[in-house]
Structures are given as structure tokens and as C-alpha cells.
Amino acid sequence: MKTVLYLARHGQTQWNKLQRFQGQLDSDLTPLGKLQSEQLALQLIDKKIDLIVASTLGRAVDSAVICQQTLNIPIYQVTELTERNLGAWQGKEITEIKHDENYYELLHQFTELAPKSGESAIKCGKRISNALEALAVNHPNKRLLVIFHGEALRCFLARLGNTVNGNAYELYKNGCVLPLTYSHADNSFKHNLVADT
């Protein structure tokens, strides 16, 4: 018995375009972001998706609603799939903080270090893993489209052992999708390390 999860990053937002950190703050999808969400749905139209699952942040929900128009299936929102809390960095442009001595460790590595008032990569990865496992356990032999966030995806995959170097913005483009299989026999995730765009 298995559950297939198609992990996707939401479409481009206004703050993505400005290279401004969102974290658990939010901004609207751009016209390109809406198009990316449409293309995501078209890419998965033959995969027989049973349910769309979205983070409760507006950009993920908006992307899910656009996908729903093509896939014609229900949307279920999960708070635990929200983006990593980047604390004091949220709302700031990359140019403002990329010279911070902790920038590389916080956004390229998988450690216990957290931004001020924020969440560590390890803590975020565990939160996402628990949420995805709960979804899989509750939807055996189903196919789920899970729309959430780039940094949360990076942290989750790092927890699974993916040590590809780079930050989420370089590794996981808006609208990308990565197939993930949950095996109920041994309670484990199996995935491809390369995201499709």
C-alpha cells in the first residue's frame, strides 16, 4: 500500500519577484504566478489526482484554487504546511540580509540555527515531515497534490537526506513539482531529488 504525493511550490508572488522574504507573511500571485499554477494543473491532469492539499497561506491557497479549476477536485488546507518562519528576516529583501554572518547556514544548510524569532531548518523539516506523513496515512492508495513552499520543501528534503547545496529559490522554482511516494509497509518516504518545472 502506498500514497503518492506531488509536492509543488506555489506560483510566483509579488514578493518573489522583488526577492523579498515572505516566510509566514504573504503577498499576491503575479500574472506569471497564476500562469504557473495553471501549468502545474495541466502537467498533472493525467495523474488522476484525488485531492489538492494546500498550506493555509494565501499564495498556496490561490495556487490551489487555480489548479482546482482544471483538476475539478476538492481542496484541503493544512496549517502545518506553512512556510518556514523566518522571524526577523520576514518582509526584508535579500540584499538587506545576504551579508549577515548566518545567511549561508540559515538558508543553505540543515541545522538548529534559527533567525531571530524564527524557526530552524531542522524544526521546519520535522513539522513538514509530520504533516505529510499524517496526510499519507489518512489517504492510503490515493494521489495528492500538495501545494506549499520552497524553503519548507528544502528543509523537508534535507531531513530525508537530500544534501544538494543551494537555497530554496535556486533549487525549487515557482510551480515546480516533485513526486514523493509514502510506503505504508515500512512508513517511509521515497522521492526523486530533481524537481520538474
Q: What is the mean pLDDT of the chain?
A: 94
Asked if residue 162 belongs to a domain, the reply is: yes
pLDDT at 121 over 90: yes
Residue 180 lies in a domain: yes
Q: Which CATH number is 31's domain given?
A: 3.40.50.1240
10 is a catalytic site residue? yes
The answer as to whether 100 is a domain residue is: yes
Q: How many domains does the chain have?
A: 1
Is 90 inside a domain boundary?
Answer: yes
Q: Which of 102, 110, 105 is nearest to 153 (CA)?
A: 110
Between residues 193 and 132, which one has the greater pLDDT?
A: 132
In this predicted structure, the answer to whether residue 195 has a pLDDT above a threshold of 60 is no
Residue range 24-35: mean pLDDT, rounded = 98
Q: pLDDT (tens digit, 9 = 90+) per residue, 105-115?
A: 999 999 999 99
pLDDT above 70 (res 192): no
**119 pLDDT exceeds 90?**
yes
Residue 83 belongs to a domain: yes
The HSE-up count of residue 91 (CA atoms within 13 Å, CB side) is: 4
State the virtual CA torsion across 146, 185, 134, 175 in degrees, nearest 10: -10
* Residue 197 placed within a domain: no
Within a domain: residue 174? yes
From the centroid of its chain, how far is CA 192? 15
Q: What is the rounded average pLDDT of the residues 164-186?
A: 89
Domain limits for position 12: 2-191
Residue 12 Cα distances to 9, 71, 163, angstroms: 9, 20, 25
Q: From the candidates 38, 80, 83, 105, which is the catalytic residue?
A: 83
pLDDT of the residue at 169: 78
Please report which confidence band the pLDDT of residue 54 belongs to, taking 50, 70 and 90 as the band edges.
Answer: very high
Structural contact between residues 158 and 150, judged by C-beta atoms closer than 8 angstroms: no
Residue 49 within a domain? yes
Query: How large is the average pLDDT for residues 51-59?
Result: 98
What pLDDT shows up at residue 196? 56
Instruction: State residue 197's pLDDT score.
Output: 47
d(CA 157, CA 130): 13
Is the pLDDT at 116 greater than 60? The verdict is yes
Q: Is pLDDT above 90 for 167?
A: no
Does residue 90 register a pLDDT over 60?
yes
